[in-house]
Amino acid sequence: MAPTILIAGSTGNTGRNVVETLSKLHETSSVLSGHRIVALTRSADGVVAQSFTKLPGVEVIEQNWVGITAEWLRKNEVVRAFIASKPQPSQFTDETMFYIAALEAGVKYVVRISTTAPNVRPDCKAFYPRSHWAIETLLGTPEFERLQWTSLQPNAFTQLYLQNAVDLIKQYRSTGKQDALRLLGSADAPVGIIDQNDVGTVAALLLAQQDPTPHNKAKYVLNGPEDISGNQVVKLVEQYIGTKVENVIFEDMSFIEAWADNSPEPKNIILSIKHALEPVIKGLCSASTTSKEVLELAAPKRTPAEVLKSMLE
């Protein structure tokens, strides 16, 4: 069996492009040519997982990454891994169990997805950025010195940020009517929303490094190539529907309230996610904050307008 690069969360927001980019690199990279690329999925019958089976160098394995052990990692000769865990109360436990197993199994390098950089601190009111802070702090201890890692701290994903705009455009095209346009950001604050595929590209290129040591213990901030405000999103929508947007709700939190009402988790934990949007609303997440290393490795390219167009196709 060949050394393996493991992609956990392979069918998620960022994982899909990690797999696809590694597959392309596999054909030309001397680093990857002797490696297996294993895409983990909880359902090998899913559409995305099935698409992976057609990619050169990629093997799909049905396995929940949360249950992976050191024995499993050794058996599959995993040497590098990508982790994109869900923002849920068990996140710290889930991820750190994997890293304990990885340390025991001799995994050399991990690239993980974190969250919006200004939130990754011990006193963030939103619950999941504290988990990311705690995980990064744990990985930075002497006990984990043998496991190299890089943590990517992306801004809001463009696809999520623009989904309500897409829905309104499609609704208007279909019915000629408009519901309220609900936007996460404020009317005027600039925010460097980033295409989730650009994040996946950066992760894949890190995993393909001959020597990842220069990126060890790094926390890289990722934003899109340009800023956009809530008012600019409104203008984009109006260009598509050919008329004025009748009702705009900025800094909309209603989806979090609906999530809290329907979640089995304590309501106050889910409602705390509202605080995760504060840096975006305050204008602390502009494109100018992107780490220089990211710009050198694979500068994010897709603008909000380009992603919106692709979401409507």
CB 56 within 8 A of CB 20: no
Q: What CATH number does residue 22 fall under?
A: 3.40.50.720
Asked if pLDDT for residue 29 goes beyond 90, the answer is no
When pLDDT is cut at 50, 70 and 90, the band that residue 83 belongs to is very high
- Residue 106 is predicted with a pLDDT of 97
Residue 294 belongs to some domain of the structure: no
- Residue 33 is predicted with a pLDDT of 80
Same domain, 210 and 274: no
- Residue 30 is predicted with a pLDDT of 75
Phi, psi dihedrals of residue 179, rounded to the nearest 5°:
-90, 175
Residue 291 belongs to some domain of the structure: no
Burial 88-119 (b: 16+ CB within 10 A, else e): eeebbebbbbbbbbbbebebebbbbbbbbbbb
Residue 280 belongs to some domain of the structure: yes
Give SS3 for 228. strand
Same domain, 45 and 138: yes
Total number of domains in the chain:
2
Q: How much of the chain exceeds pLDDT 90, in percent?
A: 94
Same domain, 106 and 188: no
CB 267 within 8 A of CB 117: no
Same domain, 209 and 305: no
- Residue 207 is predicted with a pLDDT of 97
Asked if pLDDT for residue 204 goes beyond 80, the answer is yes
Residue 252 belongs to some domain of the structure: yes
Same domain, 273 and 125: no
Same domain, 85 and 173: no
Query: CA 217, CA 140: separation in Å to the nearest integer?
Result: 7
Same domain, 232 and 306: yes
Same domain, 175 and 67: no
Same domain, 72 and 211: yes
Mean predicted confidence (pLDDT) in 153-172 = 97
Same domain, 142 and 168: no
Query: CA 99, CA 114: separation in Å to the nearest integer?
Result: 15
When pLDDT is cut at 50, 70 and 90, the band that residue 34 belongs to is confident
**Residue 86: CB partners within 8 Å, gap ≥ 6?**
none
Same domain, 33 and 100: yes
Calculate Rg over the CA atoms of the chain.
Answer: 20
Mean predicted confidence (pLDDT) in 277-301 = 96
- Residue 28 is predicted with a pLDDT of 82
Query: CA 20, CA 10: separation in Å to the nearest integer?
Result: 10
**Domain range for residue 170?**
158-192+224-286+301-312
User: pTM, whole model, 2 decimals?
Assistant: 0.95
Residue 293 belongs to some domain of the structure: no
Instruction: Summarize pLDDT for 238-273 with one digit per residue, the tens.
Output: 999 999 999 999 999 999 999 999 999 999 999 999
Q: What CATH number does residue 240 fall under?
A: 3.90.25
